């Protein structure tokens, strides 16, 4: 990673830099969703072989939003294999599943999806899903690479191009840190990401819609 997917994020790639290796972590965030405070967690864990399980959960007294992605890392070439989005709120419940079949070269979606968003969507090398995007951004900022991605998510394929806005100062765990600030804007929606050198996840992810903050994730700690 919003409630566009459903709360996110924001969030692979075009080949990994030798200096950036996939490693497991647990990251805790303070989240604000449309003005409502919540706790959020990003977890990356090995899933056997060259596969990794990546999960975002956002929880508050009104409910829970969870996104999961299974992806593979073949010597730095990352690609999504499956994903799910689950929303459990007082007035809304939904679940959407994604399948990325690289042998057929297509992605499909099932569950609570509209007919025109079920796919198939043709896959290309370097495609990623929304949750994996933040991993790619951290990796590519560290490597000084261009921040242009093809996102295959929610029944569509679309280009995501970020601009490097330079350096900014951000507070992580009560300590001021120097961060690289990047941004993308399209059709009234804006995503801003702060990346701190040495951290495996963004220090902050802010999503806006028509100038209004929709989702703000601020890193508290990572281990």
Whether residue 189 is contained in a domain is answered as no
pTM over 0.75: yes
3-state secondary structure of 132: coil
Q: Decide if pLDDT at 81 tops 80.
A: yes
Q: Decide if pLDDT at 164 tops 70.
A: yes
Whether residue 148 is contained in a domain is answered as yes
> Is residue 126 very low, low, confident or very high in pLDDT (cuts 50, 70, 90)?
very high
Whether residue 146 is contained in a domain is answered as yes
Better-scored residue on pLDDT, 203 or 3: 203
Whether residue 175 is contained in a domain is answered as no
Which of these, 71, 104, 62, 64, lies nearest to 85 by C-alpha position? 64
Residues 163-180 have a mean pLDDT of: 94
3-state secondary structure of 174: coil
Whether residue 184 is contained in a domain is answered as no
Q: Decide if pLDDT at 208 tops 60.
A: yes
Q: What pLDDT shows up at residue 203?
A: 97
Whether residue 141 is contained in a domain is answered as yes
User: What is the rounded distance in angstroms from the CA atom of residue 124 to the CA atom of residue 159?
Assistant: 12
Containing structural domain, residue 43: 25-161
Residues 199-215 have a mean pLDDT of: 92
Q: Decide if pLDDT at 10 tops 50.
A: no
Whether residue 95 is contained in a domain is answered as yes
Whether residue 59 is contained in a domain is answered as yes
3-state secondary structure of 78: strand
Q: What pLDDT shows up at residue 158?
A: 93
Q: What is the tens place of the pLDDT at every residue in 135-157?
A: 999 999 999 999 999 999 999 99
Q: What pLDDT shows up at residue 91?
A: 79
Mean pLDDT in the chain? 89
Which of these, 82, 128, 130, lies nearest to 109 by C-alpha position? 82
Distances, alpha carbon 128 to alpha carbons 82, 91, 205, 217, 221, in Å = 11, 31, 18, 21, 26
Hunting for tokens 């601020």 — which residue is that?
218
Structural domain total, the chain = 1
Q: Decide if pLDDT at 14 tops 50.
A: no
Q: Decide if pLDDT at 6 tops 50.
A: no
Q: What pLDDT shows up at residue 178?
A: 97
Total Cβ atoms within 10 A of residue 14: 19
Q: What is the tens place of the pLDDT at every residue in 127-136?
A: 999 999 999 9
Q: What pLDDT shows up at residue 75?
A: 84
């Amino acid at each position: 990673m919003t409630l566009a997917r459903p709360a996110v994020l924001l969030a692979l790639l075009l080949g990994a830099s030798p200096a950036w290796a996939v490693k497991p972590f647990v990251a805790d965030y303070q989240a604000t969703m449309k003005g409502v405070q919540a706790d959020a967690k990003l977890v990356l864990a090995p899933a056997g072989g060259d596969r990794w399980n990546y999960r975002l959960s956002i929880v508050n007294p009104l409910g829970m939003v969870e996104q999961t992605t299974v992806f593979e890392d073949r010597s730095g070439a990352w690609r999504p294999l499956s994903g799910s989005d689950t929303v459990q709120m007082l007035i809304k419940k939904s679940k959407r599943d994604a399948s990325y079949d690289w042998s057929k070269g297509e992605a499909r979606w099932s569950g609570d999806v509209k007919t025109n968003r079920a796919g198939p969507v043709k896959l290309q090398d370097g495609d990623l899903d929304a949750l994996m995007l933040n991993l790619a951004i951290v990796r590519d900022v560290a490597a000084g690479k261009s921040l242009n991605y093809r996102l295959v998510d929610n029944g569509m394929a679309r280009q995501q191009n970020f601009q490097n806005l330079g350096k900014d100062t951000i507070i992580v765990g009560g300590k001021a840190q120097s961060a690289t600030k990047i941004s993308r804007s399209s059709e009234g929606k804006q995503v801003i990401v702060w990346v701190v050198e040495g951290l495996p996840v963004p220090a902050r992810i802010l999503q806006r819609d028509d100038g209004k903050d929709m989702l703000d994730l601020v890193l508290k700690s990572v281990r």
